[in-house]
Amino acid sequence: MLTKIARACYDVNMDENNITEQPRRRSDGEQTHQTILDRAVKLASIEGVNQITLGRLAQATGVSKSGVYAHFKSKERLQMEIIEAAGEIYEREVIEPGLQAPEGLPRLIKLYESFLSYVEREIFPGGCFFAGLISEFDAQSGPVHEAVIAGHREWEGLVVSLIQDAQQRGEIDSGVEPAFLVFQLDAVKDHANFLYTLYRDPAWIERGRQAISRIVTQVSAT
Amino acid sequence: MLTKIARACYDVNMDENNITEQPRRRSDGEQTHQTILDRAVKLASIEGVNQITLGRLAQATGVSKSGVYAHFKSKERLQMEIIEAAGEIYEREVIEPGLQAPEGLPRLIKLYESFLSYVEREIFPGGCFFAGLISEFDAQSGPVHEAVIAGHREWEGLVVSLIQDAQQRGEIDSGVEPAFLVFQLDAVKDHANFLYTLYRDPAWIERGRQAISRIVTQVSAT
DNA sequence: ATGAAGATAGCACGATCGTACTATCTCCAG
DNA sequence: CTGGAGATAGTACGATCGTGCTATCTTCAT
């Protein structure tokens, strides 16, 4: 799902390349590719996608600079793949666990709990990758900006649908405007990520949990 | 006040230079200095402090590269001055207007309204400068990181004192934990800034106002 | 008014950036 | 087992980075 943030980004520059004939990969190459990407994603979450450099990435992985370059035929492609790889991790660590809870309000709650847990476990060493990515590109036009917006809309759409689900089940007051509730919940989750990343103190995650459950209590149907 | 974010940052590297004998500035130099700094602050709010380059700054202001460099004797100094200049703007546009309201709850409310207004009026073209700065340096150790933490602590301290003030006046329920209330309010203000910067839609500021006043209503003494 | 000092431009430096081209190695399908 | 193709290193390119040094204006205190 959130991988679309990268796919959309990718498509922008790869429009008329419909053929998409992949040159088949060799196993050792695939291995190295993933190693580089892993390191790149971690680095990018700390320093930002724009700070990632072919040279430093080569030095960090022990691969030669041209070796790194050969895997991603341009820096733009590298950035895309970093974002895509991060999207897959987000999918696996936040979305999927969230959707495993029973439908309705529990699923909504679990989704936000999954996010807080994912921050607390420091899946990315620099805090939530996408929080950083959006902050980095929110004011810069270009394919990444567009992709970031698409990704955010997708998340918002997901949460809204969960809220409507819970409303139809009578678990959330039907007078609540879903978009406003998303705003409140996202504000808390992002702020908890923000403060945890800054101070590395789990107390901030705990505050996030408190604030989330307080909001949920307020909108719960009587 | 928030200027300390830069001053602290500055002090880290300028410790034993107590003499601080300033070479007196010439008027034309002062003028150019400010022009460059203005442009730099705006650019930095969009692209990030780390993306600011002597060369591009020279090109953007029409001053020669070495001319720019002469004003800030290193790139680190330039970054410090950018942060300091942004701090003065924040002080003028958010803190001062906020503190002009009558003491107690009205002052607290006005402070957050000042922030939302400052975002809405796009004082910085890339959204709240410090929201971006913190996100950029939250996971990177160094003088800027330390300064960012100092600045955040200062803001939090200010808000906590306003809350305690309002509690002593009986305007806010005394059972409310000030630190938790700050968390809730800051979550909303930062999220409103975040979404406004991404979408440039004033509706997000309006949502922020709604969310703030809802929180205030909840904690108001009966 | 004059001279010391700040303001500014020009140029050069080593480092690193992204990108290309070439050569060698190593895997794996036939 | 072999040959074609992917994986990887080496090297070089022009551009730009931050930083110095030098020379020529302007300004302003005396």
At B76-121, the pLDDT tens digits run 999 999 999 999 999 999 999 999 999 999 999 999 999 999 999 9
Q: Is the CB of A23 under 7 A from strand D?
A: yes
Was domain A4-10+26-219 assigned CATH 1.10.357.10? yes
d(CA B132, CA A3): 24
The predicted pLDDT at position A14 comes to 44
Which bin fits B170, alpha (ψ -120 to 50), beta or left (φ > 0)?
left
Average pLDDT, chain A: 92
What does the pLDDT average to over A76-103?
97
d(CA B155, CA B149): 10
How does pLDDT run across B51-62, given as a tens digit for each residue? 999 999 999 999
The predicted pLDDT at position B3 comes to 54
Q: For residue A1, name the pLDDT band (cuts at 50, 70, 90).
A: very low
CB atoms within 10 A of CB B104: 18
The residue to which tokens 């968390």 are assigned: B183
Q: Identify the residues numbered 33 to 52 in chain A whose C-beta atom is closer than 7 Å to any atom of strand D.
A: 33
Q: How far is CA A173 from CA A98, A112, A146, in A?
A: 22, 19, 34
User: A45 vs B139: CB contact, 8 Å cut-off?
Assistant: yes
Average pLDDT, chain B: 92
Q: Is the CB of B31 under 7 A from strand D?
A: no
d(CA A79, CA A91): 18
d(CA B30, CA B37): 11
Interface residue of B194, B197, B206, B212 to substitute, partner A, most A CBs within 10 Å = B194
d(CA B204, CA B171): 28
Question: What CATH number does the domain located at B4-13+26-219 have?
Answer: 1.10.357.10
- Please state the domain extents for chain A: 4-10+26-219
- pLDDT above 90: residue B72: yes
- For residue B220, the cross-strand partners are B172
Q: How much of chain A exceeds pLDDT 70, in percent?
A: 90
Nearest to B187 among A48, A135, A191 (CB): A191
| Å separating the CA of residue B79 from the C1' of nucleotide C10 | 25
- pLDDT above 70: residue A86: yes
Nearest-neighbour CA in chain B from A29: distance (Å): 31
- pLDDT above 80: residue A111: yes
How does pLDDT run across B138-182, given as a tens digit for each residue? 999 999 999 999 999 999 999 999 999 999 999 999 999 999 999
Q: Is the CB of A29 under 7 A from strand C?
A: no
- pLDDT above 90: residue A24: no
Nucleotide nearest to A75 (CA to C1'): C18
Tell whether B47 is within 8 A of chain A (Cβ): yes
User: B48 vs A45: CB contact, 8 Å cut-off?
Assistant: no
d(CA B64, CA B50): 20
To the nearest 10 degrees (0 to 180), the angle between helices A203-219 and A178-199 is 170
Instruction: Look at A2-6, A199-203, B182-186, B206-210 and tell me which has the smallest mean pLDDT.
Output: A2-6
The predicted pLDDT at position B221 comes to 83
